[in-house]
Amino acid sequence: MGIPVDALVQQNKDLLAALETTLGYRFTDLRLLQKAVVHPSYAFEQAQAGNDNQVLEFIGDAVLDLVIGHLLCRRYPNMREGELTRFRSSLVNEGHLAEMARFLDLGRFLCLGKGEDASCGRNKSSILACAFEAVIGAIFEDSGYTTVADIVQRLFVEAIEQKKQDLLLSDAKSRLQEVLQDRHNEAPVYRLDGEDGPSHRKQFSVSVLFRDEVLGSGTAGSKKEAEQRAAAAALLPWEKKEQR
């Protein structure tokens, strides 16, 4: 038989204490944190099937969806449902959760099977994202919603601001069309104003018009991005009104 969870806690108490410090949270039941960093490959090798992080990962996935969704609704009460859904997805997808795990240096705390460890499992996005969800699930199980919501907000606050800017730019054309369709039942028109620079580094200038009035302009290295920037500029007056 392999090493049970209680024995792992004793064996890894210094590492677990370091992870608690990184998280800014002390566990009442340290076994939860230990299980959160046990990958199924390690549990299999130790003949401890079920004593891994998969259930906590499942819980953490649901907790993150709820906490991030609730947080976004409070911070951006005028944002539409579709925008909120895309915003939340950008924060809880595998790639971003793996980034969060790397920020916490979560890889060094993982218990991995020999094969996974040898194949750089400590830096695999899929493993890191799952472990991050499991840690969030462990905190929820240990202390409940209020505590985990405070920790998630602290960990995600910078990312929320950055992702908001990325989302607003990437989705500006569709949002502008929604606004104009809702208010006037008409769509905007995009006009290419000019192209500058050599062929390998062209800059495109685009304006967006509605009923022959220029609403905004943008310049970028592709027509598509220039249109997005023009749409984002056109949306600024509406967004400022909504924030008041």
Summarize the chain as % helix, strand, coil (round to 5).
Answer: 70, 10, 20
Helix (H, G, I), strand (E, B) or coil at 192: strand
Helix (H, G, I), strand (E, B) or coil at 164: helix
61 in catalytic set:
yes
Q: From the candidates 61, 83, 116, 171, give the one annotated as an active-site residue.
A: 61
Q: Which residues pair with 207 in a beta bridge?
A: 191, 217
133 is in an annotated binding site: yes
133 in catalytic set:
yes
Neighbours of 143 (CB within 10 A): 18
Dihedral, 109, 114, 119, 124 alpha carbons, nearest 10? -30
Q: From the candidates 52, 116, 133, 142, give the one annotated as an active-site residue.
A: 133
161 is in an annotated binding site: no
Annotated binding site for Mg(2+): 57, 133
> Which positions are catalytic?
61, 133
Q: Which residues are annotated binding-site positions?
A: 57, 133
